[in-house]
A = this chain, B = another copy of it.
Amino acid sequence: MAQNIYDDPDFFSGYSQLPRQVQGLEGAPEWPAIRAMLPELSGKRVVDLGCGFGWAARWVRGQGAASVLGLDLSQKMIERARADTVDSAIEYRIADLDTLALPEAAFDLAYSALTFHYVQDFARLVRVIRKALVPTGHFVFTIEHPIFMAAAHPHWISDEDGRKTWPVNGYAIEGERRTNWFAEGVLKYHRRLGTTLNALIDAGFQIGRVEEFAPTPEQITQTPQLSEELERPMMLLVSAFVPASAPT
């Protein structure tokens, strides 16, 4: 079972004040890159794994999706999502992605933003998602980049020229990583990039796109602080799909 850090009062309070939680999707610099990876949404049945406050669920419906099922481990998240949503085609449910069950061939798109690094058994979850999608169905997700989360002490250092530099160690040693982020001992699971992609392939997905988010020059002009994102990849963005000829 995944750690439910989001219901920790300190964590929830800090997390709720992140620009991306206050402003929604437009507060996330990687959002334009994610948007470019999404398929046509009109009429689609969508599941959002780790839906948080429901920003993406409501946006997807605004793009014409037929229905959205938003799942999150955090009761506080789900309560707030429900309070912020007036749309009978969006349903929110508390769910642990480490034990998740989904109906088979029930969705056209599975979406997840910055959630899977909390999941212990990613290969299991990917198989559940694969079965829940119809042939030609899409799976688009973001996850903390393994380069960002591998090290024992993941924080900026300086190289001999004083340049912002990110340390990497323990990259091949997969498993638990504890960090302090709004709360002590937030539990994440490190997997190599190859492990993440091979789990998709093993489950029957075809890889469509692999992006390592970097800000555009325009974004850096607007928000100079984003330039540090050129130094090391913080987020991995993946799109995959179920081949049209896949067995159902």
Contact = CB atoms under 8 A, between A and B. Distances in A.
Interface of A: 147, 151-153, 157, 159-161, 163-173, 192-194, 197-198, 201, 206-212, 214, 229-233, 236
Given A208-B201, A210-B194, A167 B169 contact: no
Contacts of A153: 159-161
A193 B210 contact: yes
Given A147-B147, A151-B159, A152-B159, A192 B212 contact: yes
Nearest to A156: B169
Nearest to A229: B172
A161 B152 contact: yes
A167 B170 contact: no
A232 B171 contact: yes
A185 to B, nearest CB: 18
13 contacts: A147-B147, A147-B168, A159-B169, A167-B168, A168-B168, A169-B231, A169-B232, A170-B230, A193-B210, A193-B212, A194-B210, A197-B210, A206-B206
B172 A230 contact: yes
B171 A212 contact: yes
A99 to B, nearest CB: 28
B233 A192 contact: yes
Contacts of A209: 194, 198, 201
Nearest to A206: B206
A242 B32 CA distance: 31
B167 A159 contact: yes
A200 to B, nearest CB: 9
Contacts of A211: 194, 198
Contacts of A192: 212, 214, 233
A167 B167 contact: yes
Interface centre among A192, A194, A206, A214 (most CB of B within 10 A): A194
B172 A212 contact: yes
Contacts of A206: 206-207
Given A161-B153, A207-B201, A207-B207, A168 B169 contact: no
A239 B206 CA distance: 13
